[in-house]
Structures are given as C-alpha cells and as structure tokens.
C-alpha cells in the first residue's frame, strides 16, 4: 500500500539497508555515512550521543560484539512518516560465525532527512 510519504519511507528503509550492510562489513566509514550526527543511542539503560568518528574498530572485539559475526533485520515496520522523518519499529538478530543466534532485539529507529541526507538520528533498543 502506497502512502503520501512513500518516497520518504523508501529512503529511510534504504538508509537502514545501508546501515546493516556497512555494519556487517565492519566498514566504519560507510557506517558513519548512514547517520545524521549527532546521533543518539539508548540501550542497556544508557544514553550515548554519537558524533562522526566515534565508531572505532575495537567495538567489534569486545563486549556484546565479541563473538558476533553479522546481524539481519527481522522486522522494519513504519510507525509514522513525514516529509523529513520516519519512525520505525524494528527487530534485528545478531548471529555468530557458525550461524547460531546470539539474540534478537526489538528497537525503534528514527531516520531523518537533513540537508538532503537520510540518516539514523535516534536508536532505542533492548540490545546490550
């Protein structure tokens, strides 16, 4: 079903596709391009304000990502959409190299258009 803001929804979904692809490739330059900075992440009861360049290769070596290999979207449902912002109810799953599941996590993503660039502005998830 097409909506008044279908082009904006398509752009937000494309942004999330690029977000996941860059994250799985561990391509931090491409990953940063999927954000509108500053960006906010709320997870594990901790709010973090991220700026360009804050993502480092070490993030893949410790903590929740220590035995992580890749992630995949399980759900991306639009909650609201407008001319410069889309709210999405999502679920993603983290996997180990052998394909076993680390966990699935519900989250809300807010993808905004700033100066013609669609990027992740806010994430709130139950992921560690």
Cis-peptide into 64, omega within 30 deg:
no
Does any domain span residue 1? no
Mean pLDDT of 84-112: 97
pTM over 0.85: yes
Number of domains in the chain: 1
Specify the CATH number for the domain of residue 12: 3.10.450.50
| Angle formed at CA 112 by CA 74 and CA 59, multiple of 5 degrees | 60
Residue 36's SS3 state is strand
**In-domain check, residue 114:** yes
Q: Would you say 110 and 121 are in contact if contact means Cβ atoms under 8 Å apart?
A: yes
- The answer as to whether 88 is a domain residue is yes
- Percent above pLDDT 70 for the chain: 98
Q: Residue 85: which pLDDT band, with cuts at 50, 70 and 90?
A: very high
Q: For residue 87, give its domain range.
A: 6-125
| 62 domain-assigned | yes
By residue count, the chain amounts to 128
> Which CA distances in Å does 9 have to 13, 58, 68, 104?
6, 33, 29, 24
Look at residue 68 and tell me if it is in a domain. yes
pLDDT for 124: 98
Q: How confident is the model at residue 60 (pLDDT cuts 50, 70, 90)?
A: confident
Q: Is 16 exposed, middle or buried (0-12, 13-18, 19+ CB in 10 A)?
A: buried
Which residues on adjacent β-strands are paired with residue 40?
49, 122
- Position 1 pLDDT exceeds 70: no
Whether residue 110 lies inside any domain: the answer is yes
């Amino acid at each position: 079903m097409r909506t008044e803001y279908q082009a904006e929804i398509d752009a937000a979904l494309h942004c999330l596709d690029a977000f996941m692809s860059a994250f799985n490739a561990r391509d931090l330059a491409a990953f940063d391009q999927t954000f509108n900075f500053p960006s906010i992440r709320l997870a594990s009861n901790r709010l973090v304000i991220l700026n360009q360049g804050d993502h480092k290769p070490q993030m893949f070596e410790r903590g929740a990502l220590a035995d992580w290999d890749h992630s995949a979207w399980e759900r991306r449902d639009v909650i609201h959409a407008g001319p410069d912002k889309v709210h999405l109810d999502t679920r993603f799953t983290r996997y180990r190299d052998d394909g076993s599941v680390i966990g699935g996590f519900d989250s809300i993503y807010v993808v905004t258009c700033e100066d013609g660039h669609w990027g992740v502005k806010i994430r709130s998830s139950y992921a560690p």
